[in-house]
Amino acid sequence: MKLREMIDSLRKIYTDTIGVEYMHIQNPHVRNWVRERVETRQPDFGLSQKTQRVILGELMEAESFEHFLHTRYVGQKRFGLEGGESLMVVLNAILVDCSVHGVQDIVMGMAHRGRLNVIANFLKKPLTAMFSQFSENYIPELVDGDGDVNTTSGTRPAGAPSPDM
């Protein structure tokens, strides 16, 4: 490979829209494994404009939902998706791929982080049903409130939409 070709190739890999930090990894075997995958990936995914718009819509939906929860339920611990909005894009891509491969059932388990967003935007639980199950557990003396947003309780915070709205 000529030097110009090598520089162009590395520039496409390391100056694209996705950044990767791996040089801090102490284990040389793991660090080399990551480097090999980074340097052999195809930098251009070639997504159509329609697909890019769908992905942007999924990201905006997840971000808007997080913003709504943050402003509407101040003090509630929500274990939000902050910084992990791409989870919604990945889940939807997996769902589409499942139908291609004949998958009939999906069983999901997850930590608290982002679960409300997943319930609302991936599992498509009606928002009125979900918000009607929130429990009021705000304690003004505490900075972050107390406890978690409960999605099984029949109570809802003052001002939350009723299930029949």
pLDDT tens digit sequence for 36-90: 988 887 666 678 899 999 999 999 999 998 888 888 877 766 677 777 888 889 9
**Which run of H or E residues covers position 55?**
helix 49-72
Q: In sequence order, what DSSP letters do the residues of 117-130 get, joined into one string?
A: HIIIIIS---HHHH
Task: For residue range 91-122, list pLDDT tens digits in order.
Answer: 999 998 998 899 999 898 887 778 888 888 89
All structural domains of the chain with their residue ranges:
3-40, 49-131
Does residue 152 have a pLDDT over 80?
no
Q: How confident is the model at residue 162 (pLDDT cuts 50, 70, 90)?
A: very low
Would you state the pLDDT for residue 138? 47
pLDDT, position 108 = 85
The SS3 call for residue 23 is: coil
pLDDT at 11: 84
Instruction: Please check whether residue 20 is in contact with residue 34, taking contact to mean a CB–CB distance below 8 angstroms.
Output: yes
pLDDT of residue 15: 81
What is the model's pLDDT at position 28?
Answer: 96
Classify 143 as helix, strand or coil. Answer: coil
Could you tell me which residues come within 8 angstroms of residue 106 by beta carbon, excluding any fewer than 6 positions away?
A: 95, 98
Whether 148 shows a pLDDT value over 90: the answer reads no
